Structure 1
Amino acid sequence: MSTPALPSSRIPEAVHRRRWVILWVLMLSLLIVVLDNSILNVAIKTISTPAPTGLGATQSELEWAINSYTLVFAGLLFTAGLLGDRLGRKKVLLAGLAVFGIGSALAAFSGSAAQLIAFRALMGVGAAFVMPATLAVLMNVFEREEQPKAIGFWAGGVGLAIAIGPVTGGLLLDHFWWGSVFLVNVPIVVLALGLMLWLVPDSRDPKPGRIDPVGVLLSVVGLVLLVYGIIKGGQLADFTEPQVWATIGAGLAVLVVFVVFEKRSDHPSIDMTYFRNKVFSAAIGVVALVFFSLMGVTFFAVFYTQSVRGYSALQTGLLMLPLAVAQTVFAPRVRLLVDRFGHKTTTTAGMLLIAVTLAVFAVLDADTPIWILEVDFFLMGAGMAHVMTPTSVVIMQSVPREKAGSASALSNIFRQVGGALGLAVLGSVLSTAYRNDIEDNLVALPAGLRHSAGESIEATLGIAAKLGPPGESLVGPADDAFLHAMHVTALWGAVVALIGTVVVARYMPGKAPAPQEGREESELVPAGE
């Protein structure tokens, strides 16, 4: 006599019953990782203000404060995923949360931009162990048919964090010092640790991969050199300088060595066999292109709203709310469109919408009605939801359940590397275009101030304020130069998004055929396609 099948043949009944509660705990852990960057977005102007209000960070230091976190995060993600597969995802999550909390507390009390960059890197170490483990645990507590829905809520959690971050950051900056935007992470970490210990089950890969320290070192060194060269070129507004092209060349050379080493290694930090699947490669590549475009936009959008339009940090956070609201609203519902139209149509429409919304920034000026920016942010968030959720499903269902940590890590590596390169490249475009436009208005300044004043709009306005009435003549040209630089940068971002549109239109899978009666439902993306 046969017995009724349990809800899951692999997942314990007790875990299956509390799977949705576990999802919310995972989303809380995810919240702090994403919250930190979204809070930082509205705080960068304050941090760039001279002491005692801020740290007096230059634009390049601000980019490094963001990228030190991002590059360490990206460099350690795959190793963190493998450690989670080997040691247990819950253990790795707990350790990552603890390191992230310690790094946050230290960053809050940084005494200089250099200290902030270092402590942000420590936070990146913790985040690297949190992010892939959350998605890996999710894939191990939900059955395949529920995974798209769960991933939709998981992606919606990212939108929620983006929504909470700028508003929370604005409120904190209105009432406390700049370090409060990092210190706020600590109580969230404590709450997440308690809930994790109580509710989340542990899981591991029965056949985990070996750790690859050489590969990790090569990837981090290569990326740091590449990003440093790009940022330095933007800072100098001259990519022909030997220190710029030599550093970029060295970074590319190290990354080539990394790829060759990984292909020959019997325990690579990145499993190159995943990329034999064209659909997997397309999905993960589009993730990188999306964040390449969006990281640059969110960086200059803060200076547009605060420096040019005169809004406060809190008001800027509220202005960015539509982007996050759209993500939160649409991400859990995207699976319905995918079921009806397929991954290809859904993601192509989403990428095209992102490209259009980026191009809109090329027509904004100092007195554009603010509701246009709000509508644009909302549509941008909607586009992002219709790209990130389907691509996440494709990536995670391309590999066996026990390899979920590795797939999640790869997805996040490309997200973070794409974002870091986007910030570096588009930030350099912004810096170069701004300096080229403002330099004719700085000829009257002493030679020592001329170079630093041309680095960013905040640098120009800061020096103008110190000069008193004579400096007022720089304010108008600074606004005009920044707007021109923003227009150029936005068009670059839109072009990158259009490239992503072509990729998904060509390679993403269409509508899946209905499963035939008596036959097992086929895999979404056959491995090795």
Structure 2
Amino acid sequence: MGWSAIWLVTMVCAAVSMVVAAMAALNTALQAIAEDPKIAASAAEQTWIIDGYTLMLAALLLPAGAIGDRLGRRGVMIGGLVVFGIASLLGVFAGSATELIATRALAGAAAAFIMPTTLSLITSNVPVSRRPLAISIWAGVAGVGAIAGFFVTGLLLKFFGQDNWRAIMITFAVSAALTALLCLTVGTSKDSDPDPFDWAGSVASVLAVFLFVFGLLEVPQRGWTNPLVLGSLIGGVVLAVVFCVIEFRIRFPLLDVQLFTNRAFSAGSLAVMLQFFASFAVFFLVLQQLQLIFGYTPLASAVALFPLIIGVGVFSLIGNWVAVRYHSLRFVLAIGVFLCGLGILLMGVIHYTQYWQLAVFLSIAAVGIGLATAPSTTAIMQNTPLDDQGVGSAVNDTARELGAAVGIALAGSILAAGYANRIGPTAEAAQRALSNPATGGDPATGAAAAEGIRNSLAGATHVAGKLPAQAHPLAQQILDGAHAAFTNPMHTSFIILGAILIVGSAVLAWISPRRMVPLAKAD
């Protein structure tokens, strides 16, 4: 790989790592944001501070990728970086939760123009012989970007203090500005003969993804049977069907949906979705376990996830090499997703109490994700026409976002329902103890404490931490009850997630071809 190609891969990896890190970075600062006098975010607002970014990113990916193909991928990426930096800077000056959510949504919209162009620049500018290696590096970086976000956030909060969450936004703004300037030095590419833009397909795709992801993001708070959730999910599916009808009938479609009849393309898309379904569900569960049960700081929690970085980083190179060198796409996708499912299943079956046990299970899952992540992306991109690489990249990225949203929704709903079913006796005991006037309590205090305990493990931990030293036995009773109420549904979530992935690996073994591209095309 020549120096220009190395520099290009370095720059686009810097850009994509920023986009993925921003999906997760504010998770560790939510408590500080909620307690900020200017923001004072409620529980629902805290959720949308995170989810507003994800929703806009997922909804706009397909049309953003097509715009990059038409206008020039480097220019669109730099424009996205500039808007991303401005949105992050505006977040520093946000004076309310609503304003902060709006800046995060703007950053997510900008990220939709960055993410697909990073991969399409690689596939259109890097020589064919070095393209699998470049894609492996990109896939590895994209796969562990969320952990990098946790780590950088933990460092910033440790250095500047837990209350200075705005340092995170400043860091994103400065990083985006610097990356945008450096990206002026890389080559560009675009569709050599662009077709008219598909406005009808673009609107249908944006609305379909928006509604479906919105419904998924609301599942943990509202449940699967809530009318808003059901209406959003059904509406998203209906609009997805409308999108497919439009794309079949229009002369110049946004996405040639017949690409999904290519077995390598469809298998790669499914594998990508399963990987992010697994990884973000695991992040959602394990970070709470590390911080609220094991007592780790945000920085220590990020470091505890390093087995994922090592496993994905190393095996993403190995997986693509095996798939390309030995024409074994079916093998690496099926085995990779199976190992990921096995690692997660073991987290549910074995009730571990030590970090080293968790690290072993995470390492098994990381090897699996690493084996499958680069080959699945390579299969998508090598079976997409060269002039439509931005759209192919957007399909890859949309699969990631949908997988992540489904994983979080499933894990979150199982956890919320299981916790609510088990926490009642603990909350009632705390309410009785804190409502007793004889011990200095009052009914209002007891009711507020019980509500906090019922809301979540984080709420229960907060209530226990606020009790005076003489109430230590009650605090310990609250923590023990909340930990038990959290741990059981957490293990159930791991079992269900792992089982879905193992079934998914069997589906991949069935539909995946041996070769990355059809034989005629490869020749």
- What's the TM-score, normalizing by structure 1? 0.86
**Residue equivalent to 2:102:** 118
Does residue 1:495 correspond to 2:481, yes or no? no
Choose which of 451, 470, 477 in structure 2 pairs with 1:473: 477
Between the aligned partners of 2:195 and 2:47, the Cα distance in structure 1 is: 34
Residues paired across the two proteins, number: 500
Does residue 1:349 correspond to 2:335, yes or no? yes
Please state how far the C-alpha of 1:133 moved relative to its aligned partner.
Answer: 0.8
Please state how far the C-alpha of 1:498 moved relative to its aligned partner.
Answer: 1.6
**Residue equivalent to 2:122:** 138
Matched-pair contact (CA < 8 Å) for 2:22–2:146: no
Bigger drift between 49-58 and 166-175 goes to 49-58
Does residue 1:298 correspond to 2:283, yes or no? yes
**Residue equivalent to 1:128:** 112
Between the aligned partners of 1:203 and 1:35, the Cα distance in structure 2 is: 26
Please state how far the C-alpha of 1:135 moved relative to its aligned partner.
Answer: 1.2
Letter in 2 for 1:417: L
After superposition, residues 11-410 of structure 1 pair within 5 angstroms as 18-44=4-30, 47=33, 50-51=35-36, 55-58=40-43, 61-159=45-143, 161-162=145-146, 164-176=148-160, 177-197=164-184, 199-236=185-222, 238-338=223-323, 339-340=325-326, 342-363=328-349, 365=351, 368-410=353-395
1:61-80 superposed Cα distances (whole Å, 9 cap, x missing partner): 44433332222112111111
Structure 2 gap segments, 5+ residues each: 432-445
Letter in 1 for 2:335: A
Residues 1:504 and 1:63: Cα distance change in structure 2 (over 3 Å): farther
Between the aligned partners of 1:489 and 1:53, the Cα distance in structure 2 is: 36
Between the aligned partners of 2:47 and 2:23, the Cα distance in structure 1 is: 12
Residues 1:75 and 1:239: Cα distance change in structure 2 (over 3 Å): closer
Matched-pair contact (CA < 8 Å) for 1:50–1:57: no
Between the aligned partners of 1:53 and 1:332, the Cα distance in structure 2 is: 46
Letter in 2 for 1:462: H
Between the aligned partners of 1:42 and 1:329, the Cα distance in structure 2 is: 27
1:4-45 superposed Cα distances (whole Å, 9 cap, x missing partner): xxx9xxxxxxxx762222221221212211222343454456
Between the aligned partners of 2:148 and 2:225, the Cα distance in structure 1 is: 42
Letter in 2 for 1:523: K
Bigger drift between 187-196 and 202-211 goes to 202-211
**Residue equivalent to 1:485:** 489
Residues 1:39 and 1:382: Cα distance change in structure 2 (over 3 Å): farther
Bigger drift between 412-421 and 239-248 goes to 239-248
Matched-pair contact (CA < 8 Å) for 1:465–1:471: yes
Letter in 2 for 1:340: Y
Please state how far the C-alpha of 1:425 moved relative to its aligned partner.
Answer: 2.6
Between the aligned partners of 1:296 and 1:163, the Cα distance in structure 2 is: 13
Please state how far the C-alpha of 1:319 moved relative to its aligned partner.
Answer: 0.4
Bigger drift between 426-435 and 157-166 goes to 157-166
1:282-318 superposed Cα distances (whole Å, 9 cap, x missing partner): 2112211221222111012111000111010111011
SS at match of 1:510: coil
Aligned-residue identity in percent: 31
SS at match of 1:184: helix
Please state how far the C-alpha of 1:207 moved relative to its aligned partner.
Answer: 2.6
Please state how far the C-alpha of 1:239 moved relative to its aligned partner.
Answer: 4.0
**Residue equivalent to 1:10:** none
Between the aligned partners of 1:26 and 1:262, the Cα distance in structure 2 is: 30
Between the aligned partners of 2:149 and 2:488, the Cα distance in structure 1 is: 28
Letter in 2 for 1:461: T
SS at match of 1:523: helix
1:428-454 superposed Cα distances (whole Å, 9 cap, x missing partner): 222122112213332354667655542
Letter in 2 for 1:359: L
Please state how far the C-alpha of 1:355 moved relative to its aligned partner.
Answer: 0.1
Residues 1:98 and 1:502: Cα distance change in structure 2 (over 3 Å): same
Please state how far the C-alpha of 1:218 moved relative to its aligned partner.
Answer: 3.5
Please state how far the C-alpha of 1:273 moved relative to its aligned partner.
Answer: 1.9
Letter in 1 for 2:354: P
**Residue equivalent to 1:4:** none
Between the aligned partners of 2:30 and 2:514, the Cα distance in structure 1 is: 41
SS at match of 1:18: helix
Matched-pair contact (CA < 8 Å) for 2:62–2:205: no
Between the aligned partners of 2:263 and 2:30, the Cα distance in structure 1 is: 39
Q: Which has the higher contact order (CA 8 A, sep 6+)?
A: 1
**Residue equivalent to 2:426:** 441
- What's the TM-score, normalizing by structure 2? 0.87
**Residue equivalent to 2:435:** none
**Residue equivalent to 1:510:** 514
Please state how far the C-alpha of 1:374 moved relative to its aligned partner.
Answer: 1.8
Please state how far the C-alpha of 1:393 moved relative to its aligned partner.
Answer: 1.0
Between the aligned partners of 1:210 and 1:392, the Cα distance in structure 2 is: 27
Matched-pair contact (CA < 8 Å) for 2:58–2:209: no
Bigger drift between 225-234 and 417-426 goes to 225-234
Bigger drift between 474-483 and 112-121 goes to 112-121
Between the aligned partners of 1:189 and 1:359, the Cα distance in structure 2 is: 38
Residues 1:127 and 1:364: Cα distance change in structure 2 (over 3 Å): farther
Which has a greater percent of helix? 2
Please state how far the C-alpha of 1:481 moved relative to its aligned partner.
Answer: 0.9
Matched-pair contact (CA < 8 Å) for 1:286–1:503: no
Letter in 2 for 1:413: T
Please state how far the C-alpha of 1:121 moved relative to its aligned partner.
Answer: 1.4
Please state how far the C-alpha of 1:330 moved relative to its aligned partner.
Answer: 2.3
Matched-pair contact (CA < 8 Å) for 1:63–1:423: no
**Residue equivalent to 2:437:** none
Matched-pair contact (CA < 8 Å) for 2:58–2:210: no
**Residue equivalent to 1:459:** 459
Between the aligned partners of 2:363 and 2:103, the Cα distance in structure 1 is: 33
Please state how far the C-alpha of 1:471 moved relative to its aligned partner.
Answer: 5.1
Letter in 2 for 1:179: R
